[in-house]
Structure 1
Amino acid sequence: MPNSQRVTERTVEKLQRQQAALAAFGSFAFRETDLQKILTEAARICAASLEVPFCKVCRYRPAEDDLLIVAGCGWKPGVIGGVVSQANETSPQGRAYVTGKPVIIRNIITANDLALPEFYAEHGIISTVDVVIPGFDGKPFGVLEIDSPSQHQYDVHDINFLTGFANVLAEAVATATRVQALRESVEQKNLLAEELQHRVRNNLQMLASMLSAHARDEAGVAGHSVDAMIRQVTILAQVYDSLLGVGLSKTIDFAGYLDALCVSMPGLQGPRAHSVAIHCRADRLLLDLDAVTSLGIVVAELITNSYGHAFPDRDGQILIDLALDSGGKTAMLTIHDDGIGYRPQDGSSRRGLSLCRRIVARIGGTLELQPGAGTLWAIGFPAAA
């Protein structure tokens, strides 16, 4: 077999190996979410594909203007995690980073214009190739470098492989970084929700316990009054629980929140001989956290009033309706029961309604009692989140 044919066959075999390695890495990298594992596997595959014992991935650090070795293959302990060079043209890595072009050093001993760290000599490094790893924020992520203790003759296929590999690595880094940022955001939100839930519930339980102790010391009307206060505290706790159930964010779907609140309200009312059904119909509406919380407190108070006064001797139903106007700028929330009708009373009930009006006014809305059968409360408020 002619020598030229053997060379051609070896070249084809090498290209096939490199293409298979690139495909295998791409498949691995886009399944894996751990960035460190991706970088380490990249170094291993690059070294194996180009038949060299050493490879490293260097990340650019803007504040220090240097290149930090974040992953590698074949190096002694202590190399990974250290700085290889500044990001300037005094080093092979820095030159590649600054120029954006591959840098091939076939013999670093004769390259007198390079500043090299001591571990190169410790590992007997003779030749290096550096290519830039593109970035996803306007600046390159860093540099991918292979190193060998013997002088290599790298051809255009090797450079193309390394460049292509660096591009795939850049996409994998961008994906893993986005996934990690999303995971951290979700974890932070979950921790915030758990902490808020823990604190609110503890405070309300403490208040309920104090009121319970006070109720045991009271008799007659006073004791019943305190029992009602305890029920209100428990309902307030449910307002927060329903809020956490739909997730904490800058804006919340008020329709979903209303559904959750209405489902939980019957179980929080006192024992009664007759049943009361709650039905909720709501258009999707995004509101900010303050508006949702305020409206939730008012809805819970008005539902509780209906339970307590609208159906003294029969079954009944309460209808909750949330609708947007045609322009989508204002919303109307109604709480309508088919009971005996609203009868103003002195005492806590009146004070409760006065508080509801103040809460609604705080979000730029109004609370009005509408004429008709039963009791119909109408809350108009701005629909903008």
Structure 2
Amino acid sequence: MPAGARTETGGELHSRLRQQQLLSAFGREALRRSELDDLLQEAARIAANGLGTNLSKVLQHIPDEGALKIVAGVGWRPGVIGVVRFGTDLESPAGFALRTGAPVISNHLGDEGRFRTPKLMVEHGVRRAVNVLIRGEAGAPPFGVLEVDSRDPREDFSESDVDFLQALANVVGLAIDRDRDRRDRELLTREAHHRVKNSLQIAQTLLRLQLREVEDPEARLQLEQAARRIMTIGAVHERLFSGPAIGQVAVGTYLHGLVEDLRNSLGVGEGSRPLELELSATAEMAVWDGDRVTTLGLVVTELVTNAFKYGRDRVLIRLEIAALDGAGTLVVEDGGDGPPAGYDQVRGRGLGMRIMATLLRGGELVPQWPAGGRFRFVATLPPAASGASA
């Protein structure tokens, strides 16, 4: 075999091994990354790198516009990605790949009789192009096209290059399916929480209407407390689908909203008995799951209701959260005398106390009579589950 042929074969083998390494690395990246836009940009970079060029692009099919839009890419002038669109007709290389599903190699764009060269590619001096389809699950419309371009007319794209590019596009297709499934699940979850919130609002409204028909003071009190408990849970569901992530609630935002709701439902303001909230820096920034926030909200609601029922003066809510494990210390303080010394809140007969004793399993609720004529309940919330944000 001539020496030149051995060198060429060795270079070809080295190129294929490098492409396999790039595919393997991209596969791991696709499993790790959750943001589809970032993954598409990485796919464009890997595609150009694997084929030895500095120009590539990911084109997404926009059916309503009858166009392919560049959504990721490398090597293009500013203002191209996210803006420039190509046609989907058969005279466009990318359009041909989209419509036929077949890969397209065009090693002589200037002399091509099959396709026209898009203006953008002429501006960038593109001489060669290769396109493959990005498709997801069987039966679903294709996402679009992965294309690599080159200004160098001397070395043709090969069928092996197509194989590499198609394998890369297939991994992208799997990531797109995963992203679509995630968005579908989020949509269903948001709808579920929205319906639960609406149902709780209806239940709260019915209780408020029932209050108009009840004359017994104790019965009215119980109905009002039940309505506040429903309000507390409903506020959690409202924020479960508007928070930083599905199923996660920003604790500070939730408590500020809850305090405002309690002011309205209890009829208190800035007068002789204001309701105030103090949060540590960690508590202000904490993000908890819905169950933990529901527990926190119900405990706050019960303690604040009791403070306004039995206490005096200002009512203060203070929450501190440990940065390491997410354990919380909740204090609700007022100017009252509190329950008699030796009172056992766990065995207390009140419904509110029994609710809190159930909610705080793994934590505790302790009455305190500090100096200065104040009374406070101190509730300890257990550490967050492993992996939860503090």
So what's the TM-score if we normalise by structure 1?
A: 0.55
Contact 1:33 1:180 survives alignment (8 Å) = no
CA distance in 2, matches of 1:146, 1:140: 18
Q: Return structure 1 stretches of 4+ with deviation > 4 angstroms.
A: 187-201, 203-208, 239-249, 267-270
1:177: Cα distance to partner?
2.4
**Counterpart amino acid of residue 219 in structure 2:** A
Corresponding letter in the other structure for 1:162: L
Q: Cα 1:53–1:71, aligned 2, differ >3 Å: closer, same or farther?
A: same
Letter in structure 1 aligned against 2:140: G
- Which residue of the other structure, out of 125, 144, 147, is the alignment partner of 2:146? 144
Partner of 2:309: none
Residue 51 (structure 1) aligns with = 52
SS in 2 for 1:58: strand
Q: Which residue of 1 aligns with 2:221?
A: 230
Query: Does residue 6 of structure 2 align to residue 8 of structure 1?
Result: no
Conserved in 1, the CA contact under 8 Å of 2:97 and 2:132?
yes
User: Deviations for 1:58-106, whole angstroms, at most 9, x for unmatched residues?
Assistant: 1111222221111111111121123432212010000111111111111
Query: Partners in 1 of 2:122 and 2:147 — Cα distance?
Result: 16
Q: Structure 1's 113 and 154: CA in aligned 2 closer, same or farther, altered over 3 A?
A: closer
Cα deviation, 1:147-185, whole Å, max 9, x if unaligned, reads 011123122211111111111111111112222333454
Quote how far apart the aligned CAs of 1:38 are: 0.7
Match of 2:284 in 1: none
Find the aligned partners of 1:172 and 1:2 in 2 and give their Cα distance: 44
Return the alpha-carbon distance in structure 1 between the equivalents of residues 156 and 184 of structure 2.
41
Give the distance between the partners of 1:90 and 1:69, measured in 2 at CA. Answer: 18
Tell me, yes or no, if the aligned pair for 2:130 and 2:148 is still in contact at 8 Å.
Answer: yes
Q: Does 1:92 align with 2:111?
A: no
Contact 1:35 1:177 in 2 (8 A): no
Q: Deviations over 1:183-236 (max 9, x none)?
A: 4544565577678878987x799999x99xxx9xxxxxx7xx234212222124
Structure 1 pair 190/75, CA: closer, same or farther in 2 (3 Å)? farther
Backbone CA RMSD of aligned residues: 4.1
Report the Cα offset of residue 133 of structure 1.
Answer: 0.8
Give the whole-Å Cα distance in 2 for the aligned partners of 1:85 and 1:115: 11
Q: 2:169 aligns with which of 153, 166, 171?
A: 166
Structure-1 residue corresponding to 2:116: 115
- The letter for the 2-side match of 1:226 is P
Cα 1:166–1:9 shift into 2, 3 Å: same
Q: Is the 8 A contact 1:61 1:67 kept in 2?
A: yes
Q: Provide the residue aligned with 2:254 in structure 1.
A: none
CA contact (8 A) 2:60 2:145 kept: yes
Long gaps (5+) in structure 2: 242-290, 307-347, 352-390
What is the CA–CA distance in structure 1 between the aligned matches of 2:174 and 2:55, rounded to whole Å?
Answer: 23
**Contact 1:95–1:103 under 8 Å retained in 2:** yes
Checking the alignment, whether the CA contact within 8 Å between 2:128 and 2:151 is kept in structure 1 is yes
Shift of 1:120: 1.2
Identical positions, percent: 30
Give the match for residue 36 of structure 2.
35
Amino acid at match of 2:89: N
Aligned with 1:70: secondary structure? strand
| Distance in 2 of aligned mates of 1:106 and 1:155 | 9
Q: Distance in 1 between matches of 2:12 and 2:117?
A: 32
Q: Which moved more, 1:124-133 or 1:225-234?
A: 225-234
Structure 1 Cα separation of the partners of residues 64 and 237 of structure 2: 40
Q: Corresponding residue for 1:26?
A: 27
CA distance, structure 2, for counterparts of residue 56 and residue 98 of structure 1:
18
Please give the alpha-carbon distance, in whole angstroms, between the structure 2 residues aligned to 1:150 and 1:229: 83
Q: Distance in 1 between matches of 2:200 and 2:75?
A: 50
Specify which of 156, 160, 184 is matched with residue 153 of structure 1.
156
The answer (yes or no) to whether the contact 1:102–1:130 under 8 Å persists in 2 is yes
Indicate if the aligned counterparts of 1:59 and 1:143 stay in contact, CA closer than 8 A: yes
What code does the residue aligned with 2:98 have? Y
Structure 2 residue aligned with 1:66:
67
Cα distance between partner residues in 2 of 1:167 and 1:72: 17
Q: Distance in 2 between matches of 1:196 and 1:237?
A: 15
Q: CA deviation at 1:23?
A: 0.7
Shift of the 239–80 alpha-carbon distance from structure 1 to 2, 3 Å rule, reads closer
State how far apart, in whole Å, the 2-side matches of 1:9 and 1:113 are: 34
- Matches of 2:200 and 2:56 in 1, distance apart? 49
- Correspondence 1:312-331 to 2 at 5 A: none
Larger radius of gyration: 1
1:61 partner letter: I
TM-score norm. by structure 2 comes to 0.54
